[in-house]
């Protein structure tokens, strides 16, 4: 899940290999992006730029964003 509020990025990522939740977090209007899927995320910081990419278990890109300060 990903949200931006007042210039602050919020990222909620589950993990640990457990089962997917049975409730739909997408009903929360706070989040701009939500997906229920097994996968992984990669965060890269290069100088003033942070890049975030989330992929499903087949390595397909689900969501990404870039923050430059």
Neighbours of 16 (CB within 10 A): 4
Q: Say yes or no to pLDDT of 29 above 70.
A: yes
Share of the chain above pLDDT 90, in %: 38
Residue 38 pLDDT:
85
Q: Is the pLDDT reported for residue 16 higher than 60?
A: yes
How far is residue 20's CA from residue 24's CA, in Å, rounded to a whole number?
10
pLDDT at 27 over 90: no
Straight-line distance from the first to the last Cα atom of the chain, in angstroms, rounded to the nearest whole number: 22
pLDDT at residue 10 is higher than 80: yes
Report CA 53 to chain centroid distance, whole Å: 7
In sequence order, the β-bridge partners of residue 46 are 49
Is the pLDDT at 26 greater than 80? The verdict is no
For residue 12, give the DSSP letter: -
Match 């992006």 to its residue by tokens.
33
């Amino acid at each position: 899940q990903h949200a931006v509020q007042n210039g602050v990025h919020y990222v909620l990522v589950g993990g640990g290999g457990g089962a997917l939740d049975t409730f739909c977090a997408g009903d929360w209007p706070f989040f701009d992006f939500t997906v229920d899927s097994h996968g992984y995320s990669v965060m890269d910081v290069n100088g003033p730029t942070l890049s975030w990419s989330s992929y499903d278990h087949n390595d397909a890109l689900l969501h990404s964003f870039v923050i430059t300060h």
